[in-house]
Structure 1
Amino acid sequence: MPNIISFKFNPTTLKLNKFIDFYGFCSQWNQNIYVYGKNEAQKVHRLSELLSFILFSHDEECLIVIEGSGINETRDYISKNLKNVQTA
């Protein structure tokens, strides 16, 4: 089973509190988070970096990639808590 999952999202349709919870969930598993937009890509080291990306992204569609252990649990978390995303 691969230790990676990705999903697409529109930054304007998501609530920040959901992403704060999501970041905390991924941190518990020590997962790596990468965010990609049209003109920007970065590894997220802190919650503030993820929130800045979401707040200041002008793209209609972005991609988040999560890497590490607990991917099945993360997939379940995303499907239950982040309703406006498309799993890639």
Structure 2
Amino acid sequence: MPNIVSFKFNPSELKLNKFIDFYAYCTQWNQNIYVYGNNEAHKVRRLSELLSFILFSHDHECLIVIEGSGINETKNYISKHLSGVQTA
């Protein structure tokens, strides 16, 4: 089973509270989160890094990659709670 899931999103279309919940969900599984946008890639180590990336991203499309255990559960969480994203 692959231990990675990714999805594309438009930062201006998603609500921050959904990403706060998403970050908490990923940390309970000890998953690594990577964000790609603005021609840069970052490993997210704190919630503030994820929120700053989303708030200050000027790209119309960004990519988030989640790595670790519980990926099937994370895919289900994304499809239920983060409307407006495209699973890559």
Bin the TM-score by the shorter chain. Answer: over 0.9
Which stretch shifts more, 31-40 or 53-62?
31-40
Instruction: List gaps (5 residues or longer) in structure 1.
Output: none
Which portions of structure 1, spanning 4 or more consecutive aligned residues, are displaced by more than 4 angstroms? none
Say what the alpha-carbon RMSD is for the aligned residues. Answer: 0.5
The CA distance in 2 between the partners of 1:4 and 1:14, in whole Å, is 22
Sequence identity of aligned pairs in percent? 83
TM-score, normalised with respect to structure 1: 0.99
Specify the code of the residue in structure 2 equivalent to 1:5: V
8 A contact 2:37–2:62 mirrored in 1 = yes
- Post-superposition offset of 1:40: 1.6
8 A contact 2:38–2:57 mirrored in 1 = no
Specify the code of the residue in structure 2 equivalent to 1:28: Q
Instruction: List gaps (5 residues or longer) in structure 2.
Output: none
The CA distance in 2 between the partners of 1:74 and 1:87, in whole Å, is 11
